[in-house]
Structure 1
């Protein structure tokens, strides 16, 4: 079955600019430590660059997660069961998503993504690989509750959130997203989520600052996007990509660092960066078993099963929507 055209739910202004993107960029650039949420790295160009990153030698998470999905398919099928609508938060990978779909025999597949062109291309690819599976792409900001297509209402759901994207968020935001996912998926739902594990900082820093410079281009693409979509004048050539391990918060941080003093405009407002000052563009938190479980429980999900790859580098966790406790 061919993928449907999808539903455009992104809030655009009269000039076609995503209002949330503009609001987040302007608010972030006004902070003492300038920062922009990592989700805005993933426009169509950024999404393609990230796909390139997943194939790099230094970037182990995709290989580790793929190993789990390949080796544990029967266990996923036993725990999840057939007939669920798989709702993927972020366009499906050409490698990982088919492994899950083949293992669990779903009733439908609903990819959610804010990058419309990338979403539709991924949905078309999955529809071709699974001609008997209904595919319903939804163009949406999944940080907010999303109304699922009418065609899957009434079906039990499985949320799929691979790649440890949850690690890009500070704990408060991650908890809010997990609660939003529960609202999107419904009370009788499950969630299969990827979480990267704490390991040698040298391995982590190499994964986010590869020798070929692909991750640097991915990071710099955010500045180019701001210039293109928000009438920005950021001198991209005078920024450099920085990735560093922050042990206090158990996370890799990505920054865009100014090579010189600069002033620039974004959406009609003026900003400046001094030499060495940065725009904080991404966190990638790493987890222990306890911290992963604590995050899920705070987000109203109860962990029921955990899998890791043979190198203990990455985990996939299956959780069930927590049943609210009655007030005493």
Structure 2
């Protein structure tokens, strides 16, 4: 038996000059930064998958628990015979876990890690031949402009947008609003019944939050340090990962987890005629993960253009799934 092949559109063309400029500017800021989008080369994607299996990292399993315990109510909102657009799909597992209750007619997986995504789609298409599987490699944090060949598909059926795993937390509230506004526009392209299902990590005690981002095995540390290897590849810098250590802290005032890489000694990093001296203890800020309250995020969804909002939480109210249409 010959299986059909998934379609794949790679519109995430690495702009080397833009990467160099962004990385260089970030490292030269008074508080040095590296964008979290640079986490997700193939190595980073594999490490993140490992993070989701850690006992300290509750979001992935809690999200699945809510889907399982509230399956009837949640899936009742999903449109039938719909096109699913899975934003930040990774290995597609989070969406595929839902196939036993709701099966899309077309599944469009979108991720910035092009090679990692394409490697998973062939097996997915073989496992679900009744579903048209499509991959789109793109940086959707900047644009939700899909290839021309997909435009008709996005309008001819109801559209279900998925943004799972609490990834919205990487955006600050202003960026999150802008992103959600674009998702609302995307959903409005679909036929009646279209909507968004999104996972959101909720504010909770500092200890639980910090443990989730600083596990005992050091997997999150490896994930964070890998961004230095990525910077070396893209920028031509001379970071030595042995000179840095991972730290995670909850910024109560900003309601966000911050991940940093802290210099273990005084050192200078050089790249393309530029350099930055780091004192021992100085950090590079690599990621934020904002935590929301139910009321604040409900208001954010309404503000972004959705008119109907529902939510479900786990018993401890650690995490929430929102349906918006």
> TM-score normalized by structure 1?
0.90
1:62 aligns with 2:64: no
Report the secondary structure of 2:302's partner residue. helix
After superposition, the Cα gap between the structure-2 partners of 1:267 and 1:194, relative to the gap in structure 1 and judged at 3 Å, is farther
**Aligned residue among 50, 53, 78 for 2:51:** 53
In the other structure, the counterpart of 2:168 is 166
Structure 1: gaps (5+ residues)? 321-328
CA contact (8 A) 1:73 1:99 kept: no
Aligned residue in 2 for 1:43: 41
2:128 maps to which residue?
130
d(CA) in 1 for partners of 2:51, 2:185: 32
Matched-pair contact (CA < 8 Å) for 2:202–2:291 = yes
In the alignment, what sits opposite 1:34? 32
Are the equivalent residues in 2 in contact too, given 1:193–1:316 (CA < 8 A)? yes
The corresponding residue for 2:182 is 180
Other-structure match for 1:235: 240
- How far, CA to CA, are the matches of 2:273 and 2:161 in structure 1? 40
Pairing 1:97–2:95 present: yes
Instruction: Structure 2: give runs of 5+ residues left out of the alignment.
Output: none
CA contact (8 A) 2:23 2:235 kept: no
Q: How many residues align?
A: 316
1:315 & 1:267 partners in 2: Cα distance? 45
Give the 5 Å matches for 1:16-27. Answer: 17=16, 19-27=17-25
For 2:287 and 2:163, how far apart are their aligned partners in 1? 18
Partner of 1:75: 73
Q: Mean Cα displacement is larger for which, 162-171 or 37-46?
A: 37-46
Write the deviation string for residues 207-248 of structure 1: whole angstroms up to 9, x where unpaired. 100000000000000001111222111122111100001110
Give the CA deviation at 1:71: 2.3
For the residues of structure 2 that align with 1:23 and 1:194, how far apart are their CA atoms?
32
> How many Å apart are 1:27 and its aligned residue?
2.2
Q: Using the alignment, how far apart are the partners of 1:101 and 1:160 within structure 2?
A: 13
Pick one of 211, 215, 220 that aligns with 2:216: 211
- How far 1:76 moved relative to its partner? 2.5
Q: How far apart in 2 are the matches of 1:302 and 1:60?
A: 30
Match of 1:290 in 2: 295
- Cα deviations by residue, 1:151-188 (Å, 9 ceiling, x for unpaired): 62322211100011001111111112212323444444
> 2 CA distance for matches of 1:251 and 1:235?
28
Structure 1 distance, partners of 2:249, 2:189, is 39
**CA displacement at 1:34 relative to structure 2:** 1.2
Q: 1:23 to 1:272 in 2, by over 3 A?
A: same
1:91–1:123 CA contact under 8 A, matched in 2: no
Please identify, of 131-140 and 268-277, the stretch whose mean Cα deviation from structure 2 is larger.
268-277
Asked whether the equivalents of residues 91 and 117 of structure 2 are also in contact (C-alpha less than 8 Å), the reply is no
Query: Offset at 1:294?
Result: 2.5
Task: Report the equivalent of 2:153.
Answer: 152
How much has 1:254 moved relative to structure 2? 0.3
The answer to whether the 8 A contact 1:85-1:152 is kept is: yes
Is the partner of 1:137 in helix, strand or coil?
strand
The answer on 1:316 being equivalent to 2:300 is no
* 1:7 to 2:3 alignment: no
Across the aligned residues of Structure 1 and Structure 2, the Cα RMSD in angstroms comes to 1.9
1:324 alignment partner in structure 2: none
**Higher deviation after alignment, 232-241 or 297-306:** 297-306
Equivalent residue, structure 2, for 1:110: 108
